[in-house]
Homo-oligomer: A and B are copies of this chain.
Amino acid sequence: MNVLIVYAHPEPRSLNGSLRDFSVKRLEDAGHNVQVSDLYAMKWKASLDADDSLVQRTGARFDPALDSQHAFEHGLQREDIAREQQKLIEADALILQFPMWWFSMPAILKGWVERVYAYGFAYGVGEHSDSRWGDRYGEGTLTGKRAMLVVTAGGWESHYSARGINGPIDDLLFPIQHGILYYPGFDVLPPFVVYRTGRVDEAKYPQVRDALGARLDRLWETEPLAFRRQNGGAYDIPDCTLKPDIAPGQTGFAAHIAYK
């Protein structure tokens, strides 16, 4: 299988760097082909702007969606964007690995999403009608592929618990797991999260590494998160709200997961 690791940490000699190197070896030893997009090493352009198209639409003001669509449809995307899209198409699984900075992914990785997720590629796909609202949330270009987050956090696990002050980790990751990964079609596996990274010393590191290794070994067998498909009957279209008989009375992120 082909695995793409998109990796966002500025220092190779870090916990993240060690875990990245470990993941590559573990996956390769299991016979997989691994590609790494090391965004800092690639000096990835983080900010989406008009320069992302080789030729701009004539006379038009820059529109992030329309310009993205125009460039994608006409083969006018910057080469760095097209190359990452090709890696995604060839991948059977995607791993996004990053340190949690201010309760989300680092800017450089957010900029990878914004620029690589072109209109026509990751959004603006499929018909909009009375029964469908585009190919998104469980359908789309990346359907059939798996995705998983590998996240490090400086804070304590309790701070990210159900009643922890940072908010529950599942809720903090929902906009990424559901809004960025499930949206264009990925099956999203439960995340691998390391807490209190300042305490991961030489004694603790083997535990973290082995736990990650076990998750990588089960990449193809792990049950994905049971997000509800947008066009699968659970939502009213075009409002895209849960039908009254689905998770009745429930609100918030968790209502979009079909717990068994």
Contact = CB atoms under 8 A, between A and B. Distances in A.
A62 interface: yes
A166 B230 CA distance: 10
Given A46-B108, A48-B107, A137-B165, A239 B63 contact: no
Interface in A223-244: 230, 235, 238-242
Interface stretch (A25-33, A72-80, A174-182): A174-182
Given A106-B114, A110-B110, A117-B102, A242 B163 contact: yes
A159 B40 CA distance: 34
Interface residues of A, number: 64
Interface stretch (A186-194, A202-210, A212-220, A248-256): A248-256
A99 interface: yes
A120 interface: no
A82 interface: no
- State the copy count for this chain: 2
Given A46-B108, A114-B106, A163 B241 contact: yes
A253 B107 contact: no
20 contacts: A10-B62, A11-B61, A11-B64, A13-B61, A14-B61, A46-B108, A47-B106, A48-B101, A101-B114, A102-B179, A103-B179, A104-B175, A107-B107, A137-B165, A156-B239, A163-B247, A163-B250, A164-B239, A171-B252, A175-B175
Interface of A: 10-11, 13-14, 40, 44, 46-50, 61-65, 99, 101-104, 106-108, 110-111, 113-114, 117, 137, 154, 156, 158-159, 161-168, 171-172, 174-175, 178-180, 230, 235, 238-242, 247, 250-256
